[in-house]
Amino acid sequence: MKRRKQAAARKAFNVEMAGQRIDRLFALAEKACRDRPDLADRYVDIARRISMRHRVSIPGELKRHVCKQCGGYLAPGVNARVRIDGRNVLITCQRCGGIKRYPYKNITPGNNSAERHCGEQ
């Protein structure tokens, strides 16, 4: 029984450490994307390998910065184009031409649910 508890504690530590490493690698990729895009891609590749090895998912806000087709780091204005098309945000990779689509809600001034919940109208 003691070994099982130790293994569970070790796994929790590894998962937490993996999450921290993934965050750090994406921060480094963001800094390196303008001067050394190849290094930024390498950081993303390492982060993806860590997430697969420890079965930790990459957070959504970081996952948006990875091209699904070429695996490169996407930096808006540097190597990615961001457009709003109707109800979607389109992120186009400038290297491979891959397109990622994310839905978003268009908030109109009279239809804001936050205002209704706060009592303001």
Q: What is the pLDDT of residue 99?
A: 95
Q: What is the pLDDT of residue 75?
A: 94
CATH number at residue 114: 1.20.5.420
- The mean pLDDT value for 1-19 works out to 77
C-alpha to C-alpha distances, 71 to 5, 24, 45, 98, nearest whole angstrom: 37, 18, 7, 10
- Looking at per-residue pLDDT, the higher value among 2 and 62 belongs to 62
The pLDDT tens digits of the residues spanning 22-63 come to: 999 999 999 999 999 999 999 999 999 999 999 999 999 999
Intra-chain end-to-end CA distance of the chain, in Å: 59
Q: What is the pLDDT of residue 11?
A: 75
Q: Which domain holds residue 8?
A: 2-118
Q: What is the pLDDT of residue 14?
A: 84
The pLDDT tens digits of the residues spanning 72-107 come to: 999 999 999 999 988 999 999 999 999 999 998 876
**Strands in 1-117 per DSSP E:** 80-85, 88-93, 99-103
Question: pTM of the entire structure?
Answer: 0.77
Q: What is the pLDDT of residue 71?
A: 92
Q: Is 4 helix (H, G, I), strand (E, B) or coil?
A: helix
Count of structural domains within the chain: 1
The answer to whether residues 62 and 26 touch, using CB atoms and an 8 Å cutoff, is yes
Q: What is the pLDDT of residue 121?
A: 41
- Looking at per-residue pLDDT, the higher value among 3 and 77 belongs to 77
CA distance 26 to 63: 10
